[in-house]
Amino acid sequence: MKLVIKDLTKTYKNGVKAIDHLNLEIGTGMFGLLGPNGAGKSSLMRTIATLQKPDSGTITFGDINVLEDNMALRKILGYLPQSFGVYPKMSAEALLDYFATLKGIHSKTERQALIKEVLEITNLYEMRKKYVAGYSGGMKQRFGIAQLLLNNPKLIIVDEPTAGLDPAERHRFLNVLREVGTNCTVIFSTHIVEDVKELCNDMAILNGGRILKQATPTQARLELKNRIWTKTIDRDDLEAHEAQFNVLSSNYNEDNSLNIRVFNDVQPSADFIAVEPQLDDVYFIALKSDEPVAAL
Ligand SMILES: Nc1ncnc2c1ncn2[C@@H]1O[C@H](COP(=O)(O)OP(=O)(O)OP(=O)(O)O)[C@@H](O)[C@H]1O
């Protein structure tokens, strides 16, 4: 099923236009919504999840008119907000049982089977008797996925789930999402390029409430082939290079020199060498131009 967003705009009461005439099509699989803080990721996700109304525009998911039939979407939606609030002192198993009952699953055997399944998918089965309140950040995020899986969602929206997770927990969380995303649509927002690289088969870069770029991560990198150049410079020469070249990023070496990455259609000067384009390059080019970049 395809999610189609057309000409969507959302202005808050304070006058901030968080979504600005946005168009986007998202198919089955893992979709990464990449953007810096304040880009409008949460605003877009809350609007798709029918938690707030836009000023104008349309959203459809398959044959559901999302903005007109909120309930039809909510039945097949799994939404994990950026912060989930406070958990009561209940074990994961008991809390899931409570949620499943609220969702109308009245047969105890049915609930038990379902809860076992979602705990196994999220790798929490061994920890099922522990209080969720005492879980680590990563375990709480996986519990968030377990609870949203209870109603077998076709559309899953997770808002910056890896923020604040340590590398091992982040890795575990991404593995869970990868498994969940094989047969439904998962929209996953992040400001970490690496998350998208590891996980997503399609992505969009969002800033200022607009889509600056949509492509598969592989396609986006291929478009930059032979257009990313690097050079090692003295740290004091950075400003001069930034004035002369389209510097995308710079990284310190151990000796305090810098490796700069430059975007240019031809070799900028004889001392630059061509390097393999990375997804970070795609991200920085999109943000720097701050304009939709159909073909870079
Ligand atoms: N309820 C609100 N009322 C007013 N302004 C808001 C509200 N929610 C978000 N904004 C503003 O809308 C813009 C987009 O915010 P949003 O939270 O959607 O971005 P984001 O990409 O999710 O950022 P972050 O990564 O920081 O959560 C920001 O300028 C933000 O300050």
State which ligand 1 atom lies nearest to the alpha carbon of 159.
22
Residue nearest to atom 29 of ligand 1 (CA): 38
Q: Crossing angle for the helix pair 92-102 and 108-121, nearest 10 degrees?
A: 120
Cβ contacts of 155 within 8 Å, gap of 6 or more: 1, 3, 48, 61, 73, 76, 77, 78, 184, 185, 187
Is the four-CA dihedral 283, 39, 160, 153 of positive or negative sign?
negative
State which ligand 1 atom lies nearest to the alpha carbon of 19.
14
Residue nearest to atom 28 of ligand 1 (CA): 38
Cβ contacts of 173 within 8 Å, gap of 6 or more: 138, 141, 142, 161, 162, 165
The per-residue pLDDT for 82 is: 83
Name the architecture of domain 3-214: 3-Layer(aba) Sandwich (3.40)
The per-residue pLDDT for 250 is: 94
* CB of 32 closer than 8 Å to CB of 199: yes
| Alpha helical stretches, state H, 89-166 | 92-102, 108-121, 137-149
3-state secondary structure of 209: coil
Q: Spell out the per-residue pLDDT of the chain, length 296, in tens.
A: 899 999 999 999 999 999 999 999 999 999 999 999 999 999 999 999 999 999 999 999 999 999 999 999 999 999 998 876 777 889 999 999 999 998 888 999 999 999 999 999 999 999 999 999 999 888 999 999 999 999 899 999 999 998 888 888 898 899 989 988 888 999 999 999 999 998 899 999 999 999 999 999 999 999 999 999 999 999 999 999 999 999 999 999 888 899 999 999 999 999 999 999 999 999 999 998 876 665 44
Does ligand 1 have an atom closer than 6 angstroms to the CB of 84? no
End-to-end Cα distance, the chain: 29
HSE (side-chain half, CA atoms, 13 Å) at 63: 0
Q: What is the ipTM of this complex?
A: 0.96
Q: How many A from CA of 268 to the centre of ligand 1?
A: 38
Strand duo 247-252 + 258-263: pairing:
antiparallel
Does ligand 1 have an atom closer than 6 angstroms to the CB of 41? yes
For residues 25 and 77, give the distance between their C-alpha atoms in angstroms, rounded to a whole number. 17
Pocket test for ligand 1, best of 16, 33, 46, 211 (most atoms within 8 A of CB): 16
* CB of 40 closer than 8 Å to CB of 211: no
Does ligand 1 have an atom closer than 6 angstroms to the CB of 11? no
Q: How many A from CA of 129 to the centre of ligand 1?
A: 37
Considering the chain, tell me which residue range(s) the CATH 3.40.50.300 domain(s) occupy: 3-214
For residue 63, what are its two tokens? 């044959």
Pocket test for ligand 1, best of 22, 43, 46, 52 (most atoms within 8 A of CB): 43
**pTM beyond 0.95:** no
Compute CA distances 25 → 1, 81, 172, 200, whole Å: 11, 21, 28, 15
For residue 271, what are its two tokens? 């001392």
State which ligand 1 atom lies nearest to the alpha carbon of 35.
21
Residue nearest to atom 8 of ligand 1 (CA): 43
